[in-house]
Amino acid sequence: MKRLSLYILVLAAFGLLFLGACGAEEAEPTAEPTAEPTLAPDEYSRDLLGSFIALPEVVEPTEYELTQEIVDLGRMLYYETRISISQEIACNSCHLLDNYGVDGLQFSLGHDGKPVGRNSPTVYNAALHLSQFWDGRAPDVEAQAQGPILASGEMGMPDPEYVLFVLNTIPGYLPLFEAAFPDDPDPINYDNVGRAIGAFERYLLTPGPFNELLEGNDDAFNEQEKRGLALFVSTGCTTCHYGEAVGGERYAVLGQVNAYPDLTDEGRFAITGEEADMYSFKVPGLLNIAETGPYLHDGSITSLAEMVELMAYHQLGKELTDAEITDIVAFLNALTGELPMEYIAIPEFPPNGPDTPGPYEYEGADSN
Residues labelled as active-site residues: 154
Residue 227 · residue 80 · CB < 8 Å: no
CA–CA separation, 287 and 72 (whole Å): 25
What is the sign, positive or negative, of the torsion defined by CA atoms of 238, 281, 268, 102? negative
CA–CA separation, 350 and 314 (whole Å): 50
Number of neighbours of residue 274 by Cβ within 10 angstroms: 10
CA nearest 210: which of 98, 308, 290? 290
**DSSP H or E run through 202:** none
Backbone phi and psi for residue 14, each to the nearest 5 degrees, phi listed first: -65, -40
First to last CA, the chain: 128
CA–CA separation, 15 and 21 (whole Å): 10
Number of neighbours of residue 331 by Cβ within 10 angstroms: 23
CA–CA separation, 133 and 139 (whole Å): 9
| Beta-bridge partners for 252 | 281
Alpha helices in the chain (DSSP H): 2-27, 68-79, 91-94, 141-150, 160-168, 173-180, 190-201, 209-214, 223-235, 269-272, 304-316, 322-333
111-114, long-range: CB < 8 A, 24+ apart: 111/84, 111/85, 111/86, 111/154, 111/155, 111/156, 112/86, 112/153, 112/156, 112/366, 112/367, 112/368, 114/153
